[in-house]
Structure 1
Amino acid sequence: MATIVLDCSRCGSKDQTADLSSIFTVDGNRGQFINVAGFCRGCKKVLGISLVGNHRHTVQEVANYLGIKDDLTNICEIIEISPPCPTPNIPDYLPDNIERSFLEAERSRISGNILAAGMTYRRALEMATKDKARDLPARKILAQRIELLAKENRLTPALADWANHIKDLGNEAAHEEDEPTAADINALAALTRMTLIYLYEMPERVRRMREASQEQGAEA
């Protein structure tokens, strides 16, 4: 069975070998290419892969090699993988330092480095809540700042309640012997993203929509 080395979009492993099967060629807008089913040797899950030949090999040559037990990495190029590899999902209108921290956390989570992800999601939350609570009574603990922001209607009560149910808001990533699970980090990622949306993206979108509405009213 032919193989190829790729970055698996299912489990996130890099330079992973996948076994290829179920070949058929397609003539489409991109020209002729090959669709194959790939089975990641890391997670054992199936991937949909579209291949073309590289600058030295044609699609037909790649198709011929698929029937042979051989590594095709050096004779073809992957033009698409399904499901696609995850990409960072960054809220709009963040301050630069908070955006950098959240982007670093997203990249760590996607690559499977959950310890780093936990600490950097927490750092993004720390910076954002301190920034937005500057005019409120000082709160040293992150969870308290989130609760205070909810009481001031800058966050929803549901977000504050959600924060209380997430394992110490990523603190165990730095201080506990047991690593957080991928599910823990995914929950922390979702909470952090929604918090940033409420604190920065939504107010800025409302401000811009209001300004646009006022400008249209003035022109009428």
Structure 2
Amino acid sequence: MFNRLTNKKKGQREEELPQDHDGLPNSHTPYGLCPRCDKQSSFDILGSLPATFDSGYILSQDGQNKRTLIDQVTSMECRNCHQPVIVIEQEYIGDSPSNKKHSGGLINYRGLFWWPIQGMNPSSDIPEEIQRILQEAKITFSAQCYRASAVMSRRTLEAITVDKGETEGVLAKRIKNLINEGILDKNLGDWATEIRLIGNSGAHFDPINNKEYYGCFYKGMKKGCPLSIVYANTRQFNEQPFHGGPTQFNAITGLNQQEFIILLYHFAPLEEEYYRHHDLKGEARKSVRYDERSDNSLPGSANKLLFMLSYIKENPNQAYHGAVFGMSQGNQFHCGSAYGLGSSRPY
């Protein structure tokens, strides 16, 4: 599949590998982020059909005249979720669209629009009204309506402030109040301010017509980063077993609540991916598991992160550490080994 790619990197055995690609796949780069499963994957091309003809013809191998294309529709199957992704692609000659001035090169096709739209399954912890506004922001961005996406992104932010109890005053004041109340840390506050300013710019005339400028919100939101921190990871934090206040939590983990929630955002997807392929002892599974067992000794990413942080901070013996988390000493040993925590003291 990758033999025709010109930019290659080398593996451990000097084998040719495709370059990393954070974008969505197309015929030119049949690998990248799957908009269905949101995983890095490679893709098999199932087939293509014309979407737009131009006025030209070429002689096919069977001697028939064949109309030339400007655009085509390609179906590609993700090798991770085994579901098709539909791409509307534009024909290129080298690195230039074929219907524009170009200096020659290989014919290739590059994506314009993808179906399904990426990131349309936000966390159920996000209130439905905010989900609907966020989805509008994502749909308009995918349709390359960047100013409209900026405005809907600002509306998403405003809805968050209302949901968190800030209903009075201008949006800048509401954001500042949420920072002072500890609902947003400084980094999220800076993010919110950027969204406010970009949304203001999108709602009023200006000469800027730049995808990166108006798309910066979406790049941060496409995986739910800020909203996951505000809603989903906050919910997981509230479900963890220690509720003795900020002083006690800091004494156990070395972190405050906001620091823990932000770390949890980065930890959770890595932990979930690991346990799809490994059990609690760290042994490889025979088949991929997508849901945790109901009797899991450490249910949820927050509990697992808390388990690790408290071990690193306090260095408890196995019996004590297991008792705190309602685990047997044997399970504590297996979990500690799986997390690379070394051998804690048995007693």
TM bracket (short chain): 0.5 to 0.7
Paired residue for 2:126, among 83, 94, 116? 94
TM-score normalised to the size of structure 1?
0.56
Alignment of 1:188-203 (within 5 A): 188-190=217-219, 193-203=224-234
Paired residue for 2:237, among 200, 206, 209? 206
The change in CA–CA distance for 1:88 and 1:150 in structure 2 (over 3 A counts) is farther
- The aligned residue for residue 70 of structure 1 is 67
In structure 1, C-alpha distance between the alignment counterparts of 2:29 and 2:153, rounded to whole Å:
32
- The aligned residue for residue 181 of structure 1 is 210
The secondary structure found in structure 2 opposite 1:140 is: coil
- The aligned residue for residue 79 of structure 1 is 75
Paired AA for residue 154 in structure 1: I
In structure 1, C-alpha distance between the alignment counterparts of 2:73 and 2:118, rounded to whole Å:
24
Q: Which moved more, 1:176-185 or 1:142-151?
A: 176-185
The change in CA–CA distance for 1:190 and 1:78 in structure 2 (over 3 A counts) is closer
Deviation at 1:205, TM superposition (A): 2.7
In structure 1, C-alpha distance between the alignment counterparts of 2:220 and 2:48, rounded to whole Å:
43
- Structure 1 or 2: more helix by fraction: 1
The change in CA–CA distance for 1:78 and 1:165 in structure 2 (over 3 A counts) is closer
Matched, 1:107 2:103: no
The change in CA–CA distance for 1:146 and 1:176 in structure 2 (over 3 A counts) is same
Paired AA for residue 67 in structure 2: D
In structure 2, C-alpha distance between the alignment counterparts of 1:190 and 1:105, rounded to whole Å:
12
- The aligned residue for residue 181 of structure 2 is 152
- The aligned residue for residue 148 of structure 2 is 116
Deviation at 1:191, TM superposition (A): 5.2
Q: Is the 1:155–1:195 Cα contact (8 Å) retained in structure 2?
A: no
Paired AA for residue 118 in structure 2: P
Cα distance per residue 1:169-207 (max 9 Å; x no partner): 411211234355312222222455433222212112333
Q: Is the 2:146–2:214 Cα contact (8 Å) retained in structure 1?
A: yes
Deviation at 1:154, TM superposition (A): 1.3
Relative contact order higher in (CA < 8 Å, ≥ 6 apart): 1
The secondary structure found in structure 1 opposite 2:326 is: helix
Paired AA for residue 214 in structure 2: I
The secondary structure found in structure 2 opposite 1:109 is: helix
The change in CA–CA distance for 1:190 and 1:157 in structure 2 (over 3 A counts) is farther
In structure 2, C-alpha distance between the alignment counterparts of 1:88 and 1:156, rounded to whole Å:
27
In structure 2, C-alpha distance between the alignment counterparts of 1:115 and 1:154, rounded to whole Å:
28
Paired AA for residue 152 in structure 2: T
Identity rate, percent: 22
Matched, 1:143 2:172: yes
Deviation at 1:162, TM superposition (A): 3.5
Q: Specify the structure having the higher radius of gyration (Cα).
A: 2
Deviation at 1:140, TM superposition (A): 1.9
Deviation at 1:218, TM superposition (A): 9.8
The secondary structure found in structure 2 opposite 1:106 is: helix
The secondary structure found in structure 2 opposite 1:70 is: strand
In structure 1, C-alpha distance between the alignment counterparts of 2:168 and 2:200, rounded to whole Å:
17
How many correspondences in the alignment? 163
Structure 2: gaps (5+ residues): 5-25, 31-44, 50-59, 77-86, 88-109, 242-297, 304-324, 330-347
Deviation at 1:144, TM superposition (A): 2.3
- The aligned residue for residue 200 of structure 2 is 171
Paired AA for residue 226 in structure 2: T
TM-score normalised to the size of structure 2?
0.38
Paired AA for residue 232 in structure 2: E
In structure 2, C-alpha distance between the alignment counterparts of 1:156 and 1:186, rounded to whole Å:
23
The change in CA–CA distance for 1:163 and 1:91 in structure 2 (over 3 A counts) is same
